[in-house]
């Protein structure tokens, strides 16, 4: 089977998800194509092969998906994770009906779900590239790695380039503008992936503190980026970085005044178990 329909609980807007990707530097993506499809190419969760999917709107709560090489259970699971399709949007909407601030967030971007990195592996590679580097510059480095070392994937009649798989990333000896230490750290990410330390299913089965501790064992990944990978690659849906200045500023704008640390914590608790989704909307919407 190559094509299937992916159902959701609650609304999904493919065009909004594509617009987010177009504006999100780590994605190095142009957004929706002129035929109305969102095409993605990525390293599959097996961390050895490249895969692709073309996504279209099949209804308010459904997405059409055409896969390369085919709609295997593993690829369907991965794409559902990337687009947050397993999150209960109906329950999130019910929570928002009792919280005016959360309702504002949902109304700003109806149908936008947390769009994630394709895998913890790709998120960790971005963490290395973006550390102490402007996002636009890091995106250029990622694009060059993708174009020069990645694998081509035919996705619904168009050829895309996926990020290099771990073994291929080990072949990178230098990259213009990237310090040698970062190349070593990229190799550390590749080695961690090959060792199974960045396996999405294995990480997701761990308690949150163990996930962070495991990720911090990867060369070049500290506490901040370990938390980022947890939230932005593993769908840490009930994790909200309440100490992050950007989140605090967005909350202040949302409610019309600065909030104390205690007030932010209270607000986050009210939004459980959707704190990760709320944090995503605070940043993106």
Pick from 87, 119, 152: which residue ends a domain?
Answer: 87
Taking CB atoms within 8 Å and a gap of at least 24, the contacts of 129-137 are: 129/178, 129/182, 129/186, 130/25, 130/26, 131/182, 131/220, 131/225, 135/25, 135/26, 136/25, 137/177
Give the sheet arrangement for strand 3-7, strand by strand: 3-7, 62-68, 50-59, 38-43
Whether the predicted pLDDT of 255 surpasses 90 = no
Q: Is residue 62 part of a domain?
A: yes
> 256 exposed, middle or buried (CB, 10 Å; 0-12, 13-18, 19+)?
exposed
pLDDT in tens, 260-274: 878 888 888 889 899
Q: Is residue 195 part of a domain?
A: no
**What's the pLDDT score for residue 236?**
62
Q: What is the CATH number of the domain that holds 74?
A: 3.30.310.20
**What's the pLDDT score for residue 183?**
98
Pick from 22, 52, 87: which residue ends a domain?
Answer: 87
User: Are the CB atoms for 254 and 261 separated by under 8 Å?
Assistant: no
pLDDT in tens, 184-239: 999 999 999 999 999 999 999 998 899 999 999 999 999 989 988 998 998 766 77
pLDDT in tens, 26-84: 999 999 999 999 999 999 999 999 999 999 999 999 999 999 998 899 999 999 999 99
**What's the pLDDT score for residue 91?**
95
Q: Is residue 152 part of a domain?
A: no
pLDDT in tens, 116-169: 999 999 999 999 999 999 999 999 999 999 999 999 999 999 999 999 999 999
Pick from 72, 87, 102: which residue ends a domain?
Answer: 87
Average pLDDT (110-114) is 95
**What's the pLDDT score for residue 239?**
78
Q: Is residue 205 part of a domain?
A: no
Whether the predicted pLDDT of 283 surpasses 90 = no
User: Are the CB atoms for 231 and 241 separated by under 8 Å?
Assistant: yes
Sign of CA dihedral 129, 135, 140, 145: positive
Q: Is residue 273 part of a domain?
A: yes
Q: Is residue 147 part of a domain?
A: no
Number of domains in the chain: 2
Sign of CA dihedral 220, 40, 116, 85: negative
Q: Is residue 225 part of a domain?
A: no
The C-alpha angle 93, 99, 105, rounded to 5 degrees, equals 65
Sign of CA dihedral 260, 262, 264, 267: negative
The boundaries of the domain holding residue 12 are 3-87
pLDDT band at 23 (very low <50, low <70, confident <90, very high): very high
Whether the predicted pLDDT of 1 surpasses 70 = no
**What's the pLDDT score for residue 201?**
93
Q: Is residue 276 part of a domain?
A: yes
């Amino acid at each position: 089977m190559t094509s299937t329909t992916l159902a959701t609980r609650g609304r999904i807007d493919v065009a909004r998800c594509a617009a987010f990707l177009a504006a999100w530097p780590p994605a190095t993506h142009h957004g929706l194509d002129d035929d109305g499809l969102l095409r993605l190419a990525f390293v599959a969760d097996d961390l050895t092969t490249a895969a692709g999917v073309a996504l279209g709107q099949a209804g308010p709560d459904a997405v059409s998906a055409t896969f390369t090489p085919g709609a295997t259970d593993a690829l369907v699971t991965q794409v559902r994770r990337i687009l947050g399709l397993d999150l209960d949007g109906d329950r999130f909407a019910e929570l928002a009906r009792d919280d005016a601030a959360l309702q504002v967030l949902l109304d700003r971007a109806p149908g936008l779900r947390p769009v994630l990195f394709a895998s913890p592996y790709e998120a960790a590679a971005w963490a290395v590239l973006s550390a102490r580097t402007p996002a636009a510059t890091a995106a250029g480095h990622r694009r060059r790695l993708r174009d020069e070392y990645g694998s081509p994937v035919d996705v619904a009649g168009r050829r895309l380039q996926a990020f290099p798989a771990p073994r291929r990333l080990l072949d990178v000896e230098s990259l213009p503008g990237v310090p040698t230490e970062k190349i070593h750290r990229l190799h550390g990410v590749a080695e961690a992936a090959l060792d199974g330390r960045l396996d999405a299913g294995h990480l997701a089965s761990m308690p949150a503190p163990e996930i962070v501790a495991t990720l911090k064992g990867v060369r070049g990944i500290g506490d901040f980026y370990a938390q980022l990978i947890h939230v932005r690659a593993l769908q840490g849906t009930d994790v909200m970085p309440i100490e992050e200045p950007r989140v605090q500023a967005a909350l202040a704008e949302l409610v019309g005044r600065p909030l104390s640390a205690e007030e932010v914590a209270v607000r986050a608790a009210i939004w459980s178990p959707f704190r990760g989704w709320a944090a995503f909307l605070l940043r993106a919407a």
